[in-house]
Structure 1
Amino acid sequence: MRSEIGMPLCNSLSKENSSMKHMKKLVLACVCSSLFTMTSSAAGKLNIYAWAESFDPDLIAQFESETGIDVTIDGFTSNEDLLAKLKSGSSDYDLVTPSQHFVKIMIQEQLLENIGARELPAYSNVDAKWQQQWWDPTGEYSVPFVYGTAGFTVNRDNYKGPATSWQEFFEPAAELKGKIAVFNTPDEIIPAAQIYLGVENCTEDSSEMKRVFDLLKKQKESVAVYSSDNINSRIASGEVYMHSWWDGDSMKARKEDNAPIEYAQPKEGLVGWLDSMVVPKGASNIDSAKTFINWMSEKEHATAEFNYYGHTPAVGIDDAQAVHKPESSPELFGSVPIIFSKACSPAAQKLVDKVWTQLLQ
C-alpha cells in the first residue's frame, strides 16, 4: 500500500504541458522517484526470537498493519537456548526477550545493543519498581516486558494431595513415582530446590550445592521426563500428575482448555522471573525493534497482550479491559513469597552446571 501513495502524484505531474523545459521534467521525475522510494522503503522488517507462543498473533497483525513493518517470530523454551543462539553469532534477530538474570549476562558478554532504553517512550510506561534494576542499572539495554513465576502444577483428577510446599514436588509420595515431569534446564529448577532447602541462590559453596544435587538425585527416581515442551498435553491428560510450569501458562490451560489442574502455591516461595525486550548486537533492524518496543508498551496493547499471554505486563494496563482478575486468576495473584533468580558468578555457575550435568547422566 505504501508504494502506491507516490504513484498518483507522479501521474499528475506527467500530465503537465509538453512544452515544459527538459530540466524541469528531469527535476520532477527525480522528485517522483524519491517519493516512491521513500514510501516503499518505509515498510521495514523485524525478526523476533521470543518465548514460544508469547506474542498475541492478532496484536502482531495489528502492529504490521499500522506500521508497515513485516514481523517474523521464532520461539524458544529456555534462556539457555537463547543465550547459545546469540553467542553463536549466527542469529539474524532484531529483538529477543530474555529473563532478568540473562539480561545481565548478555550485557556483560557484550551481546546486546545499547538502545538508550530509558530514553524511549516505552520506558516511561514501565512500573518504577522495574526501572534500572540490577540486571540493567543504567537502563540502556532493556525495556521490561512481562513478569511471573515458575513453580509446579498438579492434575487434580489424579493427585488429591496438598500443593502447598516444594516438598510435594522434590520429595514426592510413593504414588507419584514415574508421574512427575521437570523442566529440562536448570534455570528455574535449581533455584526452586535452593528455595526449598534454604540454600542461597548462586552460592559458591560446593557443600551446599551437594545438598541440592542429593535432593534432585533422589527426586529423579520419580521423574518420568525432563522436558519444557508439550507441558499442557502431558499434565492435562494425566500422563503425569505433577509438572514444572509457569503461572500464566497453567492458568490458561485451566481456563481455556478446562484442564483439571491447579498451580501450586508453595509456602517456601516461587521462583520469580521478568522478561525484557532487548536488541542483539549487530541487529539489522534496530529502528523497527524500537518501534515495536514502544508500541507494545502502550497501555492498550499491553492490556491485550496480558489477556492473551497470561503473564503480567511490566507497564501499566487498563484494569477495566483486563480479563484476568484476582478472584478468577489465583495463579497470578498468589500470596506466597517470590524470589527472583540472580546472574551467578562464574564459580557459582560452574557448580550449577556440574549439578545438572551429573543429574542427567
Structure 2
Amino acid sequence: MMASLRCVFAAIAVIVPGGILSQAVAGDLRVLAWEGYLAPLVVERFEAETGHRVTVDTFLSVSEQKRRLAERPGTYDIAMPPDYEVPGMAARGELEAIEAERLPGYANILDGWRSPPYDRRNAYSVPFHWGTTSLVVDTAVYAGTERSIRLLFDPPPELKDRTGFLVGAEETLRLALLWLGLPQCTSDRAQLQRAIDLVRPMIHKERVYSIADSVDVLSSGRIGIGIAWNGDALRARERRPSLRYIYPEEGLIIWSDALVVPTGAPNRDVALQFIDFMLRPGIAALQSNFTRYANTIRGSDALLDPALMEAPEVVIPSDVAIRFFRSCDSGQLSVYAELWDPLLRDLGR
C-alpha cells in the first residue's frame, strides 16, 4: 500500500554481505541494511549529490543485526531495526537522538507515521518501509479460493509436504499462534511450545528461506504455500504468475522498519543528511520501486511504478481490517527466538 492509501492509515556503493567493515573513514557513510533492501540507485544518487562514499553491510535477521551492532560499536552510521526494537534500543542508550522534527524533509512523512507510539515525536527514528506478512499460495498447485491460515497449518492434500516458512521466529510463530487461537504476542512458553509443536512436522530445510532467497524459493515451484512479506510476494509473482497473496480471515501481521543512527556513529552529520535524503518523495519512490514495499512519504505516489500501485500484494482489500503498531515487544520475541532457533539448528539451518 503506497502513500496514496494514507486513508487506512560519487562512487558505486560497496556491498559487503555479512562482511567485516574496515575502520571508519571521516565523511563515509556506513549502513547496516537488510540483504537486498537498499536500492543501489538510491545509494548512487546520494553519493553523487553529496560526495560521501557509502558502504552497505547486510544482515538476514533481526538477531543478526542486533549482534552486529553489539559486536562492532562505533562502526555504523545507519541501521534499520523493526519498529518494535526502537524503544528498547533507545532506553539502553544504543541510539543517537536525531530530533527528526528538525529535518527539512520531516513534513513529508505522512501524518499517521509521525510521532508513532514506539517513538513519540520521532526522537530516535523515522519510518522507512512498511508492509504485511501473510501467505502465498501457488494456484497451479491449489486452485481453491479459501482465505485462511488453515491452508498452511492444516493443509489440504495438494499442499501437504509443500509448506514453506521464513527463517525468522516472529513470522512463523505469530501466525501459528493466531491459528491456534492464542495471543500473537506472548511470553508464555507453554503457548509458544504449542506453536513449535504445530510447525515441527511440516518444516523442511529446503523449504525454509530468508530475505536473501525468499523470492527464489517462492517462485521455484518447490512449495505450494508459504509465509512471505508482501513485497517479496509481489517480486515472486512477477516471476511466477500463478502465485496469489492471501489476506486470511483470521488476520495478518503488519510491520514497519525504521532508519536510526546507532550510538557512537562515526559520521553522525552524514547520517542525518542521509535520513533527510530518504524523506524526499522522489527518493522514497525509487526505494519502493526497487523493493516493492510501501513507503511513508507524501507525494511519492506520482513517481511509483503503476503496477505497484495496483498490485494485490500491496493494495489491501477494503474488507480486510488492519491495525497498525500492534507489534510484539523485543522481550517477547527474544523468547520466540530462544525456542525457535534450536528447531532450525536441528534442520541444519
TM-score bracket for this pair, using the shorter chain length: 0.7 to 0.9
* Superposed displacement of residue 272, structure 1: 0.9
Are 2:264 and 1:286 aligned? no
Task: Supply the AA of the counterpart residue of 1:320.
Answer: A
Are 2:176 and 1:199 aligned? no
Are 2:304 and 1:322 aligned? yes
Aligned residue among 200, 216, 221 for 1:217 = 200
Go from structure 1 to structure 2 and tell me whether the alpha carbon gap of 1:45 and 1:319 turns closer, same or farther (over 3 Å shift): same
Report matched runs for 1:157-236 at 5 Å: 157-162=140-145, 164-220=147-203, 224-228=206-210, 229-236=212-219
TM-score (norm 1): 0.79
* Superposed displacement of residue 81, structure 1: 1.3
Q: Is contact 1:122–1:143 with CA below 8 Å preserved after alignment?
A: no
Task: Supply the AA of the counterpart residue of 2:245.
Answer: Y
Report matched runs for 1:1-361 at 5 Å: 44-90=27-73, 92-162=75-145, 164-220=147-203, 224-228=206-210, 229-255=212-238, 257-324=239-306, 328-335=310-317, 336-338=320-322, 340-344=325-329, 346=331, 348-349=332-333, 351-357=335-341, 359-360=343-344, 361=346
Residues in 2 aligned to 1:331 and 1:324: alpha-carbon distance in whole angstroms: 14
Go from structure 1 to structure 2 and tell me whether the alpha carbon gap of 1:56 and 1:358 turns closer, same or farther (over 3 Å shift): closer
* Superposed displacement of residue 154, structure 1: 2.2
Go from structure 1 to structure 2 and tell me whether the alpha carbon gap of 1:307 and 1:277 turns closer, same or farther (over 3 Å shift): same
Go from structure 1 to structure 2 and tell me whether the alpha carbon gap of 1:327 and 1:133 turns closer, same or farther (over 3 Å shift): closer
TM-score (norm 2): 0.82
CA-based RMSD: 2.6
Q: Is contact 1:163–1:265 with CA below 8 Å preserved after alignment?
A: no
Of structures 1 and 2, the one scoring higher in RCO (CA 8 A, sep 6+) is 2
Instruction: Return 5+ residue gaps in structure 1 as ranges.
Output: 2-42
Q: Is contact 2:173–2:192 with CA below 8 Å preserved after alignment?
A: no
Residues in 1 aligned to 2:147 and 2:289: alpha-carbon distance in whole angstroms: 27
Task: Supply the AA of the counterpart residue of 1:355.
Answer: L
1:239 alignment partner, SS class: coil
Residues in 2 aligned to 1:178 and 1:108: alpha-carbon distance in whole angstroms: 44
Go from structure 1 to structure 2 and tell me whether the alpha carbon gap of 1:327 and 1:71 turns closer, same or farther (over 3 Å shift): closer
Q: Percent identity?
A: 31
* Superposed displacement of residue 287, structure 1: 0.9
- Specify the structure having the higher radius of gyration (Cα): 1
Task: Supply the AA of the counterpart residue of 1:269.
Answer: G
Task: Supply the AA of the counterpart residue of 2:271.
Answer: A
User: Number of aligned pairs?
Assistant: 318
* Superposed displacement of residue 357, structure 1: 4.0
